[in-house]
Amino acid sequence: MYTLLKPILVREELLRRNMPIFTPENFARFFHTPFYTTKHFLEEQTNNGLFLRLKQGVYTLKTDFPGEEVVANALYKPSYISFEYALAYYDILPEMPYAVTCATTKPTRLFTVSQTTFSYYTIKKEAYTGYSLVKSGTKAFLMADKEKALADYFYFEALGKRPHNDRLVLKNINKEKLFHYAKLFARKNLSNYIKKKYAFS
């Protein structure tokens, strides 16, 4: 029954299940509630500040926000964090970008959640690799390794969709991995472009 859904107990149960992000279907299954009860409770508690609606049909605990990296993975699937955000995470880019940037095999999309922008850029399926699960405290999210984040960035730069950046810190880069990832894009002369623009031999 709806009257048995107590916000504090719902929060505790979602945290216990390690489900800070969920759909109405997830919620109904966890709490054995019918559709109308679920819909009403989610709307009510979103208005009351317990939940935050990330997009249509996807919610999180506003009281225990899981972090923008976790949200980035959940908003649009499949996706992994890459490009400028990942480069800043690895200290290759000196400043953190204003948006959380991700790679996806789906169409390019942009979402805004609580004044944070999440940008998703399409790459071909053959190049959708080079990422892993990163664990940071209680958070876990998919992110490109540093060479793949660079390859993704350079590919878009070669297409004219990213600016050339003289401020990238390119120390401790595995060149073999970088050019392996670059070849996955099957773009003629991409490797030569990277060597010329960024002095990789």
Q: What is the pLDDT of residues 10-22, one digit of tens each?
A: 999 999 998 989 9
pLDDT of residue 174: 96
For 131-161, how does the pLDDT look when each residue is reduced to its tens digit (9 = 90+)?
999 998 888 999 999 999 999 999 999 999 9
Two tokens at 131? 């990422």
Confidence of residue 2 (pLDDT cuts 50, 70, 90): very low
pLDDT of residue 201: 61
Q: Are 37 and 87 in contact (CB under 8 A)?
A: no
- Interatomic CA distance for residues 140 and 142, integer angstroms: 7
- Interatomic CA distance for residues 176 and 134, integer angstroms: 22
| Residue 115, C-beta contacts closer than 8 angstroms, at least 6 positions apart | none
| Residue 109, C-beta contacts closer than 8 angstroms, at least 6 positions apart | 76, 119, 120
The answer, yes or no, to whether residue 179 has pLDDT greater than 90, is: yes
pLDDT of residue 137: 82
Average pLDDT of span 2-6: 70
For 60-118, how does the pLDDT look when each residue is reduced to its tens digit (9 = 90+)?
999 999 999 999 999 999 999 999 999 999 999 999 999 999 999 999 999 999 899 99
For 86-98, how does the pLDDT look when each residue is reduced to its tens digit (9 = 90+)?
999 999 999 999 9
Outline where DSSP puts E strands in 10-130.
21-22, 51-55, 58-61, 79-81, 99-104, 109-113, 116-122
pTM over 0.85, yes/no: yes
Q: Are 41 and 33 in contact (CB under 8 A)?
A: yes
Share of the chain above pLDDT 70, in %: 98
Domain covering 2-64: architecture: Orthogonal Bundle (1.10)
pLDDT of residue 1: 39
Average pLDDT of span 170-184: 95
Share of the chain above pLDDT 90, in %: 87
Residue ranges of domains in the chain: 2-64, 68-198
